[in-house]
Structure 1
């Protein structure tokens, strides 16, 4: 709850500052302020050493989506480049407070927003804050398209990822340049079985991490995985789980997962070339058979 509205007279205006409380999905709470001293209220400590500052904030009437930016220096004790690139702060809730730093009981909650995007630029992080109306601007419902719109293993897909056919427990035996890791095993699955899948592991501080597998190269002794995204992957000796890859094509759903009855795409949808063309005798079979068999 915010405090009662402050009387912002000339005497108090010189003691006003902004405070930001950031609450991550994993429960981590961080506090920052643009004043030069540490403040504390509501169980959070707001530190000045982040160099945090904010852009102009606009509040629109109606359902318009408002946004603003906050930025600050990366600090090993709070916000690290590795955490930013790993997506730890994605979707975090940020509260912006106007506070009288000489008496923190005089404060007002200005807005509550979520981090829509956070990036690293020259040793600083820049976070875009989205208002509560942001979900209204996102596509709702399903799209009519050929590829599947489900995620492997979710409620719509219904593939049981606990089945040993769709996962493998491995240990990293080496790391390479960029986002490449080498894991043991490889003889029990076909080459490319995990390409497009997910690598799961627990980092050194106990957080669950995941990364999409961009490429997979396998032989009888090991697999070399190239991971998507930024930040560091699992270290050597880490216990990981590989989840099978799915390219969301109907053929893959049928032949690899035997799950064609739950396919969430429209593989027989004609393309633009068919929609804008005209019938020419002999150009294509017009026998009513499905486009994808």
Structure 2
């Protein structure tokens, strides 16, 4: 393996690859010209640099961040605002620009992104952050299972449909689909199948007169007629699970447990 920085003057540049959840892959290098290696063309972006990368043998998350000016055609403020880079997978490494020998130093996901309209700073989360997930279930009056996911047992295909967008309201951050039972889709999700936010998952937080209010910003460019995949929602209560879905046997919650304030309650006659 190529050893970097083992000499006084080295032909080394940094590179980073971004794999967005909508299927788009972007690659950049700090070199002053494009480099192609590993079957990927890395575009020259000298203004984008990774900050210090901390790698340890401990279980704690390795820290890193990348920052740069919003002047590259592939990373635009409107795309950052639309959430296209949220939770994207990322690789950072070093490459010898003379013979294209390279080595990946850091892998993880993009976390929090800060944007001041002139430059952006993206926090990076290493793969060790997965070890911080709490896998021990906690008691809850509502169902802990994801709707149509593991533990729920219901079929996602049964409660999913593909609809054509009838109208979009950017100011109120909502969309409308003709003939759709909007109330049944509260707490559900939606994905556009075309347009600038293709593949991005939107949570549906409310229904208003046939409109679906979404949990993340919409951007201009998605036209009426665009197809979207929708899935109904569930409020995770036992009443809904039993009466609407007939799935109480798979309810993953404890709706009848007394609360934490049981000892502080006054006795009732």
The residue number in structure 2 matching 1:250 is: 238
The residue number in structure 1 matching 2:40 is: 44
Q: CA deviation at 1:84?
A: 3.4
Q: Secondary structure at the match of 1:272?
A: coil
Residue 28 of structure 2, aligned match among 23, 28, 32:
32
Q: Superposition pairs for residues 130-145 of structure 1, below 5 Å?
A: 130-145=125-140
Compared CA separation, residues 59 and 74, structure 1 to 2 (3 A): same
The residue number in structure 2 matching 1:182 is: 176
Compared CA separation, residues 70 and 231, structure 1 to 2 (3 A): farther
Compared CA separation, residues 253 and 114, structure 1 to 2 (3 A): same
Compared CA separation, residues 123 and 182, structure 1 to 2 (3 A): farther
Q: Would the aligned equivalents of 1:144 and 1:265 in 2 still touch at CA under 8 Å? A: yes
Compared CA separation, residues 95 and 199, structure 1 to 2 (3 A): closer
- TM-score computed with the length of structure 2 as normaliser: 0.84
Compared CA separation, residues 9 and 201, structure 1 to 2 (3 A): closer
Q: Would the aligned equivalents of 2:53 and 2:64 in 1 still touch at CA under 8 Å? A: yes
Q: Would the aligned equivalents of 1:170 and 1:185 in 2 still touch at CA under 8 Å? A: no
Q: CA deviation at 1:171?
A: 2.7
Unmatched 5+ stretches in structure 2:
none
Q: CA deviation at 1:185?
A: 1.5
Unmatched 5+ stretches in structure 1:
283-293
| Higher Cα radius of gyration | 1
Q: Would the aligned equivalents of 1:50 and 1:74 in 2 still touch at CA under 8 Å? A: no
Residue 111 of structure 2, aligned match among 98, 101, 116:
116
Q: CA deviation at 1:133?
A: 1.6
Q: Secondary structure at the match of 2:184?
A: coil
Residue 225 of structure 2, aligned match among 219, 227, 237:
237
Q: Would the aligned equivalents of 1:39 and 1:104 in 2 still touch at CA under 8 Å? A: no
Deviations, residues 126-161 of structure 1 (Å, cap 9, x unaligned): 322222321111211322211111111113112224
Compared CA separation, residues 96 and 162, structure 1 to 2 (3 A): closer
Q: CA deviation at 1:262?
A: 0.9
Q: CA deviation at 1:57?
A: 1.9
Q: CA deviation at 1:241?
A: 4.0
Q: Distance in 2 between matches of 1:9 and 1:32?
A: 25
- TM-score computed with the length of structure 1 as normaliser: 0.78
The residue number in structure 2 matching 1:288 is: none
Compared CA separation, residues 104 and 86, structure 1 to 2 (3 A): farther
